[in-house]
Amino acid sequence: MKLLAFGASTSSSSINRTFANYAANSVEGAEVTDLDLNTFDLPIYSEDEDGANGIPHAAHRFKELIEAHDGLVISMAEHNGSYTAAFKNLYDWTSRIDQKVWADKPMLLLATSPGGRGGQTVLEAAAATFPRMGADLLGTFSLPSFQDYFSEEEGITDPALAQEFAAQLNLFAKPLSQAA
Protein backbone atom coordinates (compact mmCIF):
# COMPACT_ATOMS: atom_id res chain seq x y z
CA MET A 1 0.00 0.00 0.00
CA LYS A 2 1.49 3.31 -1.10
CA LEU A 3 1.17 6.24 1.33
CA LEU A 4 2.03 9.86 0.63
CA ALA A 5 3.25 11.65 3.78
CA PHE A 6 4.00 15.31 4.25
CA GLY A 7 4.07 18.12 6.76
CA ALA A 8 2.12 21.16 5.54
CA SER A 9 5.21 23.31 6.04
CA THR A 10 8.37 24.31 4.18
CA SER A 11 10.56 24.42 7.28
CA SER A 12 13.75 22.37 6.71
CA SER A 13 13.37 21.10 10.29
CA SER A 14 9.60 20.61 10.12
CA ILE A 15 8.24 18.71 13.13
CA ASN A 16 5.06 18.07 11.14
CA ARG A 17 7.03 16.39 8.33
CA THR A 18 8.73 14.22 10.98
CA PHE A 19 5.37 13.39 12.57
CA ALA A 20 3.60 12.62 9.28
CA ASN A 21 6.39 10.25 8.28
CA TYR A 22 6.41 8.60 11.69
CA ALA A 23 2.65 7.99 11.40
CA ALA A 24 2.79 6.71 7.82
CA ASN A 25 5.67 4.36 8.66
CA SER A 26 3.64 3.02 11.62
CA VAL A 27 1.13 1.54 9.15
CA GLU A 28 2.00 -2.09 8.59
CA GLY A 29 2.96 -2.91 5.02
CA ALA A 30 3.11 0.74 3.95
CA GLU A 31 5.48 1.99 1.28
CA VAL A 32 5.90 5.64 2.22
CA THR A 33 6.74 8.60 -0.03
CA ASP A 34 8.21 11.40 2.12
CA LEU A 35 7.17 14.58 0.33
CA ASP A 36 9.08 17.84 0.84
CA LEU A 37 6.87 20.85 0.08
CA ASN A 38 10.03 22.85 -0.70
CA THR A 39 10.22 21.04 -4.02
CA PHE A 40 7.09 22.90 -5.25
CA ASP A 41 8.14 26.17 -6.77
CA LEU A 42 5.03 28.30 -7.28
CA PRO A 43 4.14 31.96 -7.64
CA ILE A 44 1.68 33.35 -5.08
CA TYR A 45 -1.81 32.48 -6.32
CA SER A 46 -3.85 35.23 -7.90
CA GLU A 47 -6.58 35.09 -10.52
CA ASP A 48 -4.51 37.49 -12.62
CA GLU A 49 -1.46 35.17 -12.49
CA ASP A 50 -3.71 32.18 -13.23
CA GLY A 51 -5.28 33.99 -16.20
CA ALA A 52 -1.98 35.23 -17.59
CA ASN A 53 0.27 32.18 -17.16
CA GLY A 54 -2.04 29.28 -16.26
CA ILE A 55 -1.57 26.63 -13.59
CA PRO A 56 2.11 25.92 -12.84
CA HIS A 57 3.63 22.50 -13.48
CA ALA A 58 4.32 22.10 -9.72
CA ALA A 59 0.59 22.05 -8.91
CA HIS A 60 0.02 19.36 -11.55
CA ARG A 61 2.90 17.36 -10.06
CA PHE A 62 1.32 17.61 -6.59
CA LYS A 63 -2.04 16.42 -7.95
CA GLU A 64 -0.41 13.52 -9.79
CA LEU A 65 1.42 12.45 -6.63
CA ILE A 66 -1.85 12.41 -4.68
CA GLU A 67 -3.51 10.33 -7.39
CA ALA A 68 -0.60 7.86 -7.52
CA HIS A 69 -0.96 6.88 -3.84
CA ASP A 70 -3.49 4.76 -1.94
CA GLY A 71 -3.65 7.01 1.12
CA LEU A 72 -2.52 10.37 2.48
CA VAL A 73 -0.93 11.19 5.85
CA ILE A 74 -0.74 14.94 6.36
CA SER A 75 0.41 16.82 9.44
CA MET A 76 -0.66 20.45 9.54
CA ALA A 77 1.77 23.11 10.77
CA GLU A 78 -0.04 26.03 12.41
CA HIS A 79 0.92 29.63 11.66
CA ASN A 80 -1.18 32.22 13.48
CA GLY A 81 -4.02 29.78 13.93
CA SER A 82 -4.14 28.77 10.29
CA TYR A 83 -2.39 27.04 7.37
CA THR A 84 1.20 27.98 6.54
CA ALA A 85 1.32 30.33 3.55
CA ALA A 86 3.33 27.82 1.49
CA PHE A 87 0.80 25.02 1.99
CA LYS A 88 -2.20 27.30 1.33
CA ASN A 89 -0.60 28.51 -1.89
CA LEU A 90 0.00 24.96 -3.16
CA TYR A 91 -3.52 23.98 -2.09
CA ASP A 92 -5.11 26.96 -3.86
CA TRP A 93 -3.23 26.31 -7.09
CA THR A 94 -4.11 22.60 -7.00
CA SER A 95 -7.78 23.38 -6.40
CA ARG A 96 -7.77 25.19 -9.76
CA ILE A 97 -7.02 21.88 -11.51
CA ASP A 98 -9.83 20.04 -9.75
CA GLN A 99 -11.87 20.97 -6.69
CA LYS A 100 -11.37 17.41 -5.48
CA VAL A 101 -7.78 18.17 -4.54
CA TRP A 102 -7.55 15.04 -2.39
CA ALA A 103 -8.90 12.77 -5.14
CA ASP A 104 -11.22 10.78 -2.79
CA LYS A 105 -8.16 9.25 -1.09
CA PRO A 106 -8.30 7.90 2.48
CA MET A 107 -6.66 10.48 4.75
CA LEU A 108 -5.13 10.57 8.22
CA LEU A 109 -4.97 14.21 9.27
CA LEU A 110 -2.56 15.24 12.02
CA ALA A 111 -1.11 18.36 13.58
CA THR A 112 1.62 19.08 16.06
CA SER A 113 3.33 22.15 17.48
CA PRO A 114 5.73 23.00 20.29
CA GLY A 115 2.80 24.46 22.26
CA GLY A 116 0.13 22.91 24.42
CA ARG A 117 -2.66 23.09 21.81
CA GLY A 118 -0.70 21.03 19.27
CA GLY A 119 -2.01 22.88 16.23
CA GLN A 120 -5.61 22.03 17.11
CA THR A 121 -6.97 25.18 15.49
CA VAL A 122 -5.51 24.45 12.06
CA LEU A 123 -6.38 20.77 12.42
CA GLU A 124 -10.04 21.67 13.05
CA ALA A 125 -10.07 24.03 10.05
CA ALA A 126 -8.59 21.38 7.78
CA ALA A 127 -10.86 18.62 9.12
CA ALA A 128 -13.93 20.80 8.51
CA THR A 129 -13.09 21.59 4.90
CA PHE A 130 -10.85 18.86 3.40
CA PRO A 131 -13.77 16.41 2.99
CA ARG A 132 -15.46 19.00 0.75
CA MET A 133 -12.27 18.99 -1.29
CA GLY A 134 -12.32 15.26 -1.89
CA ALA A 135 -10.71 13.85 1.27
CA ASP A 136 -11.97 10.55 2.64
CA LEU A 137 -11.10 11.64 6.17
CA LEU A 138 -10.74 8.56 8.38
CA GLY A 139 -8.82 9.81 11.41
CA THR A 140 -7.53 12.98 13.09
CA PHE A 141 -5.02 13.51 15.88
CA SER A 142 -3.20 16.46 17.40
CA LEU A 143 0.03 16.01 19.36
CA PRO A 144 0.72 18.87 21.81
CA SER A 145 4.18 19.90 23.01
CA PHE A 146 6.04 17.91 20.33
CA GLN A 147 9.45 18.34 21.94
CA ASP A 148 8.14 16.93 25.24
CA TYR A 149 6.03 14.05 23.91
CA PHE A 150 7.87 12.76 20.84
CA SER A 151 11.20 11.05 20.39
CA GLU A 152 12.65 9.55 17.18
CA GLU A 153 13.43 6.31 19.02
CA GLU A 154 10.17 5.81 20.95
CA GLY A 155 7.59 7.83 19.01
CA ILE A 156 4.87 9.29 21.25
CA THR A 157 6.12 9.03 24.82
CA ASP A 158 2.92 9.95 26.72
CA PRO A 159 0.86 6.76 27.20
CA ALA A 160 -2.59 8.40 26.92
CA LEU A 161 -1.62 10.32 23.78
CA ALA A 162 0.02 7.21 22.30
CA GLN A 163 -3.20 5.26 22.87
CA GLU A 164 -5.35 7.95 21.24
CA PHE A 165 -2.93 8.12 18.29
CA ALA A 166 -3.00 4.34 17.84
CA ALA A 167 -6.81 4.37 17.74
CA GLN A 168 -6.91 7.08 15.06
CA LEU A 169 -4.13 5.38 13.08
CA ASN A 170 -6.14 2.17 13.13
CA LEU A 171 -9.26 3.94 11.82
CA PHE A 172 -7.14 4.94 8.82
CA ALA A 173 -5.04 1.81 8.36
CA LYS A 174 -7.71 -0.88 8.78
CA PRO A 175 -9.86 -0.10 5.71
CA LEU A 176 -6.71 0.49 3.67
CA SER A 177 -5.23 -2.89 4.53
CA GLN A 178 -8.58 -4.58 3.87
CA ALA A 179 -8.69 -2.98 0.41
CA ALA A 180 -5.06 -3.96 -0.37
Residues that bind ligand FMN (CB under 6 A): 7, 9, 11, 14-16, 77-81, 113-115, 117, 119
Identify which of 85, 105, 2, 101 has the alpha carbon closest to the alpha carbon of residue 44: 85
Of residues 29 and 81, the one with the C-beta less far from ligand FMN: 81
Identify which of 102, 79, 108 has the alpha carbon closest to the alpha carbon of residue 10: 79
Of residues 15 and 135, the one with the C-beta less far from ligand FMN: 15
Strands 31-34 and 2-7: parallel
Identify which of 30, 137, 144, 133 has the alpha carbon closest to the alpha carbon of residue 90: 133
Of residues 112 and 176, the one with the C-beta less far from ligand FMN: 112
Q: In Å, what is the CA distance from 76 to each residue of 34, 59, 139? A: 15, 19, 14
State the nearest-atom distance from the C-beta of 12 to ligand FMN, in Å: 9
State the nearest-atom distance from the C-beta of 17 to ligand FMN, in Å: 6
Of residues 16 and 140, the one with the C-beta less far from ligand FMN: 16
Residue 39 DSSP code = G
State the nearest-atom distance from the C-beta of 175 to ligand FMN, in Å: 27
Of residues 80 and 178, the one with the C-beta less far from ligand FMN: 80
State the nearest-atom distance from the C-beta of 32 to ligand FMN, in Å: 17
Concatenate the DSSP letters of all residues of 68-104 into one string. Answer: TSSEEEEEE--BTTB--HHHHHHHHHHHTT-S-TTTT
State the nearest-atom distance from the C-beta of 88 to ligand FMN, in Å: 13
